[in-house]
């Protein structure tokens, strides 16, 4: 199973153990829309909160060093975004994730 397949399954299943296993301890998540940078524990807590509902997740490209995907994400507050994500890998885990998000109509 690819790294993104493992990551996406953990996100979909809200499997905290699997998500912690696929995310590197030195992980950073850069959200270019807001400029926020989150660490592993922040992202796992957010993912487990139920605030993130990802639909139409599509892997565009993946190799041993990088993964690129697109998804539509809806949040509890009703906001919806089209999100392009770039995942960087190290030691078979996600070490960095950067996103660009376009707001979508509610």
**Interval 62-98: pLDDT, tens:** 999 999 999 999 998 999 999 999 999 999 999 999 9
Q: What's the predicted TM-score (pTM) here?
A: 0.91
Tokens 């998000």, located at residue = 101
Residue 51: phi and psi, rounded to 5, are -75, -20
What gap in Å lies between CA 23 and CA 97, rounded to an integer?
10
Here the tokens at position 98 are 């950067």
Tens digits of residue pLDDT in 89-101 = 999 999 999 999 9
User: What CATH number has the domain bearing residue 69?
Assistant: 3.10.450.50
Structural domain count of the chain? 1
Domain housing 88: 3-104
Q: Give first-to-last CA distance, the chain, whole Å.
A: 34
Tens digits of residue pLDDT in 17-45 = 999 999 999 999 998 878 899 999 999 99
């Amino acid at each position: 199973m690819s790294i993104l397949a493992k990551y996406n399954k953990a996100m979909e299943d809200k499997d905290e153990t699997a998500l912690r296993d696929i995310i590197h301890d030195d992980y950073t998540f850069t959200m270019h829309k807001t400029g926020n940078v989150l660490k592993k524990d922040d992202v796992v807590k957010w993912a487990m909160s139920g605030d993130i509902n990802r639909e139409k997740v599509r892997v565009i490209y993946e190799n041993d060093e990088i993964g690129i995907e697109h998804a539509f994400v809806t949040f509890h507050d009703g906001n919806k975004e089209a999100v392009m994500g770039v995942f960087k890998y190290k030691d078979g885990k996600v070490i960095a994730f950067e996103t660009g998000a376009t707001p979508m109509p509610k």
